[in-house]
Homo-oligomer: A and B are copies of this chain.
Amino acid sequence: MHAHPSRQKFIDAAIAVVREQGYAATSVDDICARAGVGKGSFFHHFKSKEELLLAAIEHWNAFTGAVFADAPFRRLADPRARLLGYVDFRIAILDRPIPEFACLLGTLVQEVYQSHPALLAACDAGMSGHIDDLVADAAAAKALYAPDADWTPESVGFFMQAVLQGSFIFAKAKNEAEVARDNLAHLRRYLESLFPPAAKKE
């Protein structure tokens, strides 16, 4: 329904430019220039910069959702292996330039949390939706490997995401992904210890 090519160009441009510059530093003209389409068209498709970003977040959620749903690790039978596979998958992505592996939502949250409630809610919903997939695996893995542990599967999903978001910050600060790789190696080690394979209960 929302598939007009120019509209999509604006959305793709917004995701790219905001990941590089942030929300406030990105002007509508910047987005139009990146999209290669004029401002008249912009305000024909979106009634404001904020509304474009809501659409961009929606697209981001759909796109990243599909990427992870189709990733090979998703087809592993064991939920513990899927969680570790998720981490390995994120490590593999770190080869690309920083603006391509960093998270649009994490970048946005820090800028808009006091000023744009609608954007904040959309970011929260997107991140929480992504985490839900991790939580499902964490719950299944907990039932198998750590049924009596005193942490919740939900908290494991949020922890994994927090490590990722923090790692993106350090990748940006150091302008290289190695710190992020080391961080994810620690995360992987922690997950291995949370779900000790010896304890598997059939």
* A156 nearest CB neighbor, chain B only: B186
- The verdict on A12 contacting chain B, using a C-beta distance below 8 Å, is no
Question: Could you say which of B98, B165, B172 contacts A169, with CB atoms under 8 Å apart?
Answer: B165
Contact in complex: B169, A162 (CB < 8 Å):
yes
- The verdict on A197 contacting chain B, using a C-beta distance below 8 Å, is no
CA separation between A99 and B163, bound complex, in Å?
20
Given contacts A170-B161, A179-B158, contact A22 B193 (CB under 8 A): no
CA separation between A195 and B38, bound complex, in Å?
59
Interface of chain A, helix or strand or loop or mixed? Answer: helix
Contact in complex: B166, A111 (CB < 8 Å):
no
- The verdict on A159 contacting chain B, using a C-beta distance below 8 Å, is yes
Chain A positions 128-176 with a Cβ under 8 Å from a chain B Cβ: 151-152, 155-156, 158-159, 161-170, 172-175
Question: Could you say which of B113, B120, B169, B179 contacts A110, with CB atoms under 8 Å apart?
Answer: B169
Contact in complex: A172, B21 (CB < 8 Å):
no
Contact in complex: A182, B169 (CB < 8 Å):
no
Given contacts A22-B111, A109-B172, A114-B21, contact A162 B183 (CB under 8 A): yes
